[in-house]
């Protein structure tokens, strides 16, 4: 028997891939060279991507609340850490001497996609179980 995914779980799987990949790509380019996300907050985004992967693979019909919670948590991490990184860099050096890398952008977009998946999962009305009369 083939299980069907709830609307939003495919989006959550795509977000998981973006976050897992973005966690290890360069987050910041400087004059001295790229800075990998794996040496800082990118590792936490990678872990959140693995959690989002689990949420995308769980049966959403039975564990809907858990999947929504995972998507919200992963979205908060995926958006929050890249924004924190940019704000930190802006407050330290301004706009001079650095440029965001693909890992930072992928992680942030993966977080936004997680939040969109959570919204889509929340908007779906769960089907009532059939009862025998």
* Residue pLDDT, tens place only, 5-19: 778 888 999 999 999
pTM of the model: 0.85
Residue 63 has what DSSP assignment? S
E runs forming strands in the chain:
26-30, 33-36, 98-100
The pLDDT value recorded for residue 131 is 64
Separation between Cα atoms, residue 79 and residue 75, nearest integer Å: 6
* Residue pLDDT, tens place only, 83-105: 999 999 999 988 888 999 999 99
Extract the tokens encoding 7. Answer: 């609307």
């Amino acid at each position: 028997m083939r299980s069907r995914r709830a609307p939003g779980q495919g989006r959550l799987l795509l977000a998981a891939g973006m976050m897992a990949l973005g966690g290890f790509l360069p987050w910041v380019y400087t004059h001295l060279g790229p800075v990998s996300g794996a040496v800082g907050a990118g590792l936490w985004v990678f872990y959140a991507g693995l959690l989002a992967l689990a949420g995308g693979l769980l049966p959403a019909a039975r564990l809907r609340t858990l999947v929504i919670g995972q998507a919200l948590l992963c979205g908060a991490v995926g958006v929050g850490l890249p924004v924190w990184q940019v704000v930190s860099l802006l407050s330290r050096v301004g706009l001079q001497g650095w440029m965001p890398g693909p890992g930072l952008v992928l992680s942030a977009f993966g977080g936004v996609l997680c939040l969109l998946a959570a919204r889509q999962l929340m908007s779906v009305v769960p089907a009532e179980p059939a009862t025998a009369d």
